[in-house]
Amino acid sequence: RAVETALRTADLSAEMELHYQPILDTATGAITFVEALARWTSPILGRVGPDRFVAAAERCGLVHGLTLLLLSKALADFRQFPAWVGLSFNLSAHDLVSPEAVQEIIATVRESGIDPRRLTLELTETALMRDFDQAKAGITSLRALGIKIALDDFGTGYSSLGYVHRLPLDKIKIDRSFMAGIDTEIGGSLISTIVSLCRNLGLDGIVEGVETAAQREAAQRQGCRYIQGYLIGRPMPLRDLLARLAQEP
């Protein structure tokens, strides 16, 4: 409740910041994508994590406005990225609920002037379950523009397998809970099964939560091409990210 109250009176444009976490393409050794992660420093509550403020914004009907604000901030930052790096941005469950909401996202992307093919929008299964047909229609409009769609936190929902072939997707982000168990026999075979599923569906698989060199080696052994996690880089402010990208080969 305190978060909702603070959100309602917040100057979101001034108080919200985006951090960026690199995603490694192990086939080329380059950072080819970066995920934007919102950070809020409230003058009343201090730092509040996105899990909490996104949920609060959803409850009080502020989330779509917040998404548009964060997306335009991220796209403005994105102009400073090298040309080979794409941007991945998280949408909330409420962002695809109507054709109007989808059109507002499209308008924000158009106004930024970026090439939509460099943008990936991440959606969770919960977001898709709210209204499957509407979400599917929204995804179809976004993809028609060249925007890529990733299913986030894959494997944590109720029926992920029932969705993947019914939705026009480009990527699957394998939840970090799978990475935590990769050094066990069953954990390793779970990851390799999801990786083959991605390959069979023609989707890019991105494994999240890679924290150690041993996990990275295990992930690559199981055929994972794209890797994200603290080992590659923590979420960081824009200037740190740009410094990191400038060191790239």
Q: Which segment (40-48, 49-57, 101-109, 198-206) binds ligand G by CB under 6 A? A: 49-57
Task: Identify the bridge partners of residue 151 per DSSP, sorted by sequence position.
Answer: 123, 172
Count of residues in contact with Mn ion, rule CB under 5 A = 3
Write down the least CB distance from residue 249 to Mn ion, Å: 26
Under the binding rule (CB under 6 A), the answer on residue 90 touching ligand G is yes
> 101 touches which of Na ion, Mn ion, ligand G, none (CB within 5 to 8 A by kind)?
none
The 168-207 contact track toward ligand G, x by CB under 6 A, reads -----x--x-------------------------------
Q: Which segment (100-108, 129-137, 159-167, 228-236) binds ligand G by CB under 6 A? A: 228-236
CB-count burial class (<10 Å; 0-12, 13-18, 19+) for 22: buried
Nearest to 154 by CA among 128, 130, 131, 135: 128
3 state DSSP class of 148: strand
* Token output for 93: 């469950």
By CB under 5 A, what part of segment 106-135 binds Mn ion? 122
Helix, strand, coil shares of the chain, percent, nearest 5, are 45, 25, 30
- Cα–Cα distance for residue pair 245/153, rounded to 1 Å: 26
Measure the CA angle with vertex 123, ends 120 and 127; round to 5°.
Answer: 155
Q: Tell which one of 78, 81, 92, 245 touches ligand G (CB under 6 A).
A: 92
Task: Return residues touching Na ion (CB under 5 A).
Answer: 152-153, 173
- Contact positions vs ligand G (CB under 6 A): 21, 37-38, 49-51, 54, 70, 90-92, 152-153, 173, 176, 208-211, 229-230, 235
